[in-house]
């Protein structure tokens, strides 16, 4: 814990909760684990968006149910402000454990979630996972680079986005086949689809996803289980949502 705290110098966290007691408890937990981490606090989603603009935090802890603007709405607003810039990890603070609410967290653009009341060890592990040095952060998709590679050909750009979303070359459909192969321990299919997905991710300038599939392709002989795919699930969902949003936006530009 101490080693990581030393690595958190000059990093910022935005803590968002409409309950003052929850804010205080979370703040104290964070200060014990990461004493050099700078903390900004907001009591509703609208205030969180404004503080995001001012502080550009390295990670956000976002309560889900709040007045004025809830956590889902605030997350969508922040994602729209980020556009092609570095994606800020947003962790949902939720009192519910229902699958529907968890799915809504990811659908709104959140990266992870933690249940309330907070447990200090779990909170520490989550922050240690998401707080990284600035140079190690990569956008899920580098749309600017993708546009440059296609030499700003808008028709080709939209076609490529659509191909990555629909049909036999879509990321989601191939990823589902890969997970089925992992469940069945079909090593031939694991090798084929991890390599195929690595190629699709590379073509779409989805560097994080490329690195995930490269690791799967190079290590599957050592054995894989679906438990190894939690982070990959989240990144696939993020990339798919970003592609859908970009395709919708490109249709009106």
pLDDT in tens, 145-191: 887 878 678 888 888 888 888 877 789 899 999 999 988 889 999 99
Buried b (16+ CB within 10 A) or exposed e, 10-42: ebbbbbbbbeeebbebbeebbeebbeebebbbb
**Residue 1 has what pLDDT?**
28
CA distance 92 to 175: 25
Q: Are residues 73 and 152 in the same domain?
A: no
Whether 111 and 89 have beta carbons less than 8 Å apart is answered as yes
Q: What is the pLDDT of residue 252?
A: 46
Please answer whether residues 182 and 222 qualify as being in contact, where contact means their C-beta atoms are separated by less than 8 angstroms: no
pLDDT at 10 over 80: no
Statement to judge: residues 92 and 180 lie in one domain: no
Residues 104 and 169 both lie in one domain: no
**pLDDT tens per residue, range 112-151:** 889 999 998 889 888 887 876 443 456 688 888 887 878 6
Question: Of the residues 136, 156, 191, which one is the last residue of a structural domain?
Answer: 136
Q: Are residue 128 and residue 149 in the same domain, yes or no?
A: no
Q: What is the CATH number of the domain that holds 126?
A: 3.40.50.2300
Position 48 scores a pLDDT of 97
Question: Which pLDDT band holds residue 196 (cuts at 50, 70, 90)?
Answer: very high
Instruction: In whole angstroms, give the CA distance from residue 110 to residue 72.
Output: 8
Q: Are residues 83 and 148 in the same domain?
A: no
Q: What's the number of domains the chain is made of?
A: 2
Nearest to 14 by CA among 61, 46, 49, 69: 61
For 205-240, the pLDDT digits (tens) are 888 898 889 888 887 777 777 777 878 888 888 888
Q: What pLDDT score was predicted for residue 136?
A: 42
Nearest to 137 by CA among 157, 104, 113, 111: 111
Per-residue pLDDT of 56-103, as tens digits, reads 898 999 999 998 899 999 999 999 898 756 778 899 998 866 777 888
pLDDT tier at 192 (50, 70, 90 boundaries)?
Answer: very high
Q: Select from 82, 101, 136 the last residue of a domain.
A: 136
Higher pLDDT, 100 or 9: 100
Q: Are residues 126 and 170 in the same domain?
A: no
Mention every residue, 6+ apart, whose C-beta is less than 8 A from residue 94: 63, 64, 101, 102, 105, 113, 114, 115, 116
Measured distance CA(111)–CA(234) in Å, rounded: 7
Rounded Cα distance, 116 and 227, in Å: 23
Distance from C-alpha of 38 to C-alpha of 232, rounded to nearest angstrom: 29
Is the domain of 130 the same as that of 149? no
Average pLDDT over residues 35-50: 94
CA distances from 211 to 150, 166, 201, 232 (A): 22, 22, 9, 10
Indicate whether 86 and 108 sit together in one domain.
Answer: yes
- Whether residue 11 contacts residue 5, with contact meaning beta carbons closer than 8 Å, is answered with no
Full residue range of the structural domain in which residue 222 is found: 143-251
- Shared-domain flag, residues 75 and 169: no
Residue whose tokens read 């947003």: 90
Contact between 16 and 60 (Cβ < 8 Å): yes
**Do 231 and 108 share a domain, yes or no?**
no
The answer to whether residues 10 and 65 belong to one domain is yes
Average model confidence (pLDDT) across the chain = 84
Provide the pLDDT for residue 20.
93
CA-CA distance, 29 to 13, in Å (whole number)? 13
Reduced to 3 states (helix: H, G, I; strand: E, B; else coil), residue 91 is strand
Stronger pLDDT, 168 or 194, i.e. the higher one? 194
If asked whether residues 156 and 243 sit together in one domain, one would say yes
Provide the phi-psi class of 151: left if phi over 0, else alpha when psi is between -120 and 50, else beta: left
Looking at 136, 156, 177, the residue that finishes a domain is: 136
Q: Which DSSP helix (H) or strand (E) runs through 52?
A: helix 45-55
Q: How does 56-74 read in b/e, with b if 16+ C-beta sit within 10 Å?
A: ebbbbbbbbebeebbbbbb
- Provide the pLDDT for residue 149: 77
Distance CA 66, CA 121 (A): 25
């Amino acid at each position: 814990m101490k080693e990581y705290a030393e690595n958190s110098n000059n990093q910022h966290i935005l803590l968002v909760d409409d309950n003052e007691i929850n804010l205080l408890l979370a703040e104290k937990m964070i200060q014990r684990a990461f004493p050099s981490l700078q903390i900004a606090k907001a009591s509703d989603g609208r205030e969180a968006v404004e503080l995001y603009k001012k502080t550009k935090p390295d990670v956000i802890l976002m309560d889900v149910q709040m007045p004025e603007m809830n956590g889902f709405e605030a997350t969508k607003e922040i994602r729209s402000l980020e556009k092609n810039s570095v994606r800020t990890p947003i962790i949902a603070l939720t009192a519910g454990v229902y699958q529907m609410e968890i799915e809504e967290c990811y659908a709104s653009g959140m990266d992870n979630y933690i249940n309330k009341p907070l447990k200090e060890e779990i909170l520490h592990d989550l922050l240690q996972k998401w707080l990284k040095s600035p140079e190690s952060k990569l956008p899920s998709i580098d749309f600017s680079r993708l546009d440059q590679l296609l030499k700003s050909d808008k028709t080709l750009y939209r076609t490529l986005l659509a191909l990555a979303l629909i049909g036999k070359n879509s990321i989601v459909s191939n990823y589902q086949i890969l997970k089925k192969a992992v469940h069945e321990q079909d090593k031939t299919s694991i090798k084929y689809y991890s390599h195929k997905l690595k190629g699709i991710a590379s073509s779409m300038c989805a560097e994080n996803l490329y690195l995930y599939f490269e690791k799967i392709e190079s290590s599957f002989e050592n054995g894989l289980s679906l438990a190894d795919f939690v982070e990959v699930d989240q990144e696939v969902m993020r990339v798919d949502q970003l592609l859908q949003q970009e395709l919708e936006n490109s249709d009106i530009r």
